[in-house]
Chain A
Amino acid sequence: MALKLSSQERQGLTLISPTLLYALVMLAAPLLMVATFSFWTQNYLEIDRTLTLDNYRAAWGEPIYQVLLARSLRISVIVTVATVLLAFPVAYFLSFHVKKRKALWLFLITVPFWTSYLLRVFLWKVILGYNGVLNSALLNLGLIDEPLTFILYNANAVVLTLAHAWAPFAILPIFVALEKIDRSLLEAAEDLGDGPVRRFFRVTLPLAMPGVVAATLIVLIPTVGDFITPKLVGGTDGLMIANMIQIQFGKANNAPLGAALAVTSMLTVAAISLIVFLAGRRLGGRVKP
């Protein structure tokens, strides 16, 4: 293929090449290597480079990995739905009701996100624990007679903590999408006889769809790979696939199986993301901006 580049194009490519090169060496190469690694086997310290599907047979076939992957996906999906549903009204409020201090509100929303992630997760443990903030408050108010136990060391705690941790990532893209909506379209809908509810579902929501899809993906993808939250607040029922990947690379000393699990979860997440993306396009496609 004969490539003829103008000087403009050449300069652009030259300028971006250091960054691209870094990403190729530090991201593309490692990802390819993980993929290769997942077809090898490890016997204590010896790596056997014969290509085999054993790791995938284990990753897809053995109940423990199936359970962990299914649970990770279930928890991530619940977290994502909860986070996006809870975040949407806030973004809507910021975009349509706050007139003057938008930047301040946005700043205040991002501040908690910048405190140590580990400590934030840990503090939820302090809040939700048996002698925690929530239980002592409810006991003092006389609302409960004994501490609630269903709120820590299970999947509920994981959902709550992650919904908190990813809140700004859900609010910001939805806010940006809402800001882009041409306000005259809403007036037009009203003039043509749509009530507030119909207007919201027929105009505002479809136009905000790109933001909702972005928020969904931004929350869904990383939460599948989180292993701090499950470990700190999840108890034994809350462990997720990332914990198992970490164990395989650490204590269990079976990096190839860990790699196969990583590849498996990445492919699963990619497939779900694609579905979300396509669904969002369909839902948002009716009103052209």
Chain B
Amino acid sequence: MAGARRGPNWLLVYAVAYMVFLYAPVVLLPLFAFNDATIVAFPLSGFTTKWFTVLWETEALHGAVRNSLIVAVSSALIATMLGASAARAMARYRFPAKKGIVGFIMLPLVLPEIIVAVALLVMLMQLGLSLSLWTVVAGHVLICTPFAIAILSSAFQGLDQSLEEASLDLGESRWGTFRRVTLPLVMPGVVSSLLITFTISLDEFIIAFFLTGTDVTLPVYIWSQLRFPSKLPSIMALGAILLALSVLLLVLAEWFRRRAAARQGKDATAAGGLL
């Protein structure tokens, strides 16, 4: 793998140490999720699955999970639709002020989330709208759309225009061409975008914290539980489940992205996609 040109490869050693640093907090989740003790500290004191049972029996948590799923699914769908139309426009057409428009749409990527949250809150207050799950969706769509665009624009850029032209020449309508040629070709990118935006929305806390009404999302629920030491082990169990779920979704998203690249006959190992 690494070129062993002169002596030990210090860069490899460093990279491995860095990975240990990156994974240090994450590996603790499963450890404490199955640890038979009410305090989250070492030494570990035995194996148990009772914290998962506790989760199963906590009603408030189920409500939060349901709310989060509603928010995450809605945000992912809307953000991906908005992202697809923007990505298509960017890849296919030239139009005035393109750079400025794209830059503005991508702006939430570099705005501190608290600014986005506070701004939306002020507007909702001024309009006299009450906070609900839909206000959270509105905020999440805003921050998810740039990610959707980033993922989808590589899918649309790789699209061979002559295929669409051939379809039109052969008598398909515009809509028929979109449905039978364009969509199947970019579908893996669409799925990958749905999965990524779903994951982002599911984990987003700051905007949800400001814009949530009486129905809380999962991260807001977790935040409220972190104050109670007795709740911590079950929160660890919850975290372990979320971790497993996120990794699964990510692997799926990556698999779809590579399939998209493979369909268009491109090198799938390129770093594109997420950023």
Q: Which residues of A contact B (CB under 8 A)?
A: 3, 5, 8-13, 15-16, 18-20, 22-23, 26-31, 33-34, 37, 86, 89-90, 92-94, 97-103, 105-112, 114-120, 122-124, 126-127, 129, 131-133, 136-137, 164, 167, 169, 172-173, 175-176, 179, 217-218, 221-222, 224-228, 232, 242, 245-246, 249, 255, 258-259, 262, 265-266, 269
Interface of chain B residues 34 through 61 with chain A (CB within 8 A): 40-43
Asked if residues B94 and A12 are in contact (CB atoms below 8 Å), the reply is: yes
Interchain CA distance A102-B142 in the complex, whole Å: 31
B107 within 8 A of A: yes
Residues of A within 8 A of B29 (CB): 115, 119, 123
Majority SS at the chain A contact face: helix
A249 and B121 in contact, given A8-B93, A221-B112 (Cβ under 8 angstroms): yes
B163 within 8 A of A: no
Residues of B within 8 A of A227 (CB): 114, 206
Interface of chain B residues 1 through 50 with chain A (CB within 8 A): 1-3, 9, 11-12, 14-15, 18-19, 21-26, 28-29, 32, 40-43
Asked if residues A172 and B274 are in contact (CB atoms below 8 Å), the reply is: yes
Q: Which 5 A-B pairs have the closest CB atoms?
A: A225-B112, A12-B93, A30-B119, A12-B95, A123-B25
Q: Which residues of B contact A (CB under 8 A)?
A: 1-3, 9, 11-12, 14-15, 18-19, 21-26, 28-29, 32, 40-43, 82-83, 85-86, 88-90, 92-96, 98, 101, 104-105, 107-108, 110-116, 118-123, 125-126, 138-139, 141-142, 145, 149, 199, 203, 205-206, 210, 219, 222-223, 226, 235-236, 239, 242-243, 246-247, 250, 254, 268-269, 271, 274-275
Interchain CA distance A173-B272 in the complex, whole Å: 11
Give the contacting residue for A19; candidates B82, B95, B110; CB below 8 A.
Answer: B82
Residues of A within 8 A of B14 (CB): 89-90, 93
Q: Could you write out 20 A-B pairs with CB less than 8 Å apart?
A: A9-B96, A19-B86, A26-B141, A27-B142, A31-B115, A31-B119, A89-B18, A90-B15, A98-B1, A103-B269, A116-B222, A123-B26, A164-B22, A172-B271, A172-B275, A173-B275, A221-B111, A224-B112, A225-B114, A249-B121
Asked if residues B105 and A269 are in contact (CB atoms below 8 Å), the reply is: no
Residues of B within 8 A of A173 (CB): 275
Asked if residues B226 and A19 are in contact (CB atoms below 8 Å), the reply is: no
Asked if residues B271 and A175 are in contact (CB atoms below 8 Å), the reply is: yes
Look across to chain A and name the residue whose beta carbon is closest to the beta carbon of B235: A119
Asked if residues A115 and B94 are in contact (CB atoms below 8 Å), the reply is: no
Nearest CB in chain B: distance from A99 CB, A: 6
A262 and B269 in contact, given A23-B104, A30-B122 (Cβ under 8 angstroms): no
A259 and B93 in contact, given A167-B22, A269-B112 (Cβ under 8 angstroms): no
Interchain CA distance A173-B110 in the complex, whole Å: 14
Residues of A within 8 A of B247 (CB): 111, 114
A126 and B41 in contact, given A116-B242, A133-B28 (Cβ under 8 angstroms): yes
Asked if residues B26 and A112 are in contact (CB atoms below 8 Å), the reply is: yes
Majority SS at the chain B contact face: helix
Residues of B within 8 A of A109 (CB): 19, 22
Residues of A within 8 A of B22 (CB): 109, 112, 164, 167
Q: Beyond A15-B93, A98-B1, A176-B275, list 19 extra A-B contacts (CB 8 Å).
A: A5-B96, A16-B89, A19-B86, A20-B105, A27-B116, A31-B115, A37-B122, A89-B15, A102-B269, A105-B15, A107-B254, A115-B26, A116-B239, A117-B219, A126-B25, A136-B42, A217-B110, A246-B114, A262-B115
Interchain CA distance A29-B14 in the complex, whole Å: 47
Asked if residues A19 and B203 are in contact (CB atoms below 8 Å), the reply is: no
Interchain CA distance A259-B142 in the complex, whole Å: 20
Asked if residues A114 and B203 are in contact (CB atoms below 8 Å), the reply is: yes
Nearest CB in chain A: distance from B173 CB, A: 16
Query: In this complex, which of B22, B111, B239 has the most chain A Cβ atoms within 10 angstroms of its Cβ?
Result: B22
Interchain CA distance A131-B229 in the complex, whole Å: 14
Asked if residues A33 and B12 are in contact (CB atoms below 8 Å), the reply is: no
Give the contacting residue for A97; candidates B11, B42, B226, B271; CB below 8 A.
Answer: B11
A117 and B203 in contact, given A13-B95, A19-B86, A97-B12 (Cβ under 8 angstroms): yes
Asked if residues A26 and B1 are in contact (CB atoms below 8 Å), the reply is: no
Interchain CA distance A33-B118 in the complex, whole Å: 10
Interchain CA distance A131-B40 in the complex, whole Å: 10
Residues of A within 8 A of B268 (CB): 103
Residues of B within 8 A of A232 (CB): 226
A22 and B142 in contact, given A97-B11, A108-B19, A115-B239 (Cβ under 8 angstroms): yes
Nearest CB in chain B: distance from A113 CB, A: 8
Query: In this complex, which of A123, A137, A232 has the most chain B Cβ atoms within 10 angstroms of its Cβ?
Result: A123
Residues of B within 8 A of A15 (CB): 85-86, 88-89, 92-93
Interchain CA distance A137-B115 in the complex, whole Å: 40
Residues of B within 8 A of A269 (CB): 112
Look across to chain A and name the residue whose beta carbon is closest to the beta carbon of B236: A119
Give the contacting residue for A228; candidates B28, B40, B206; CB below 8 A.
Answer: B206
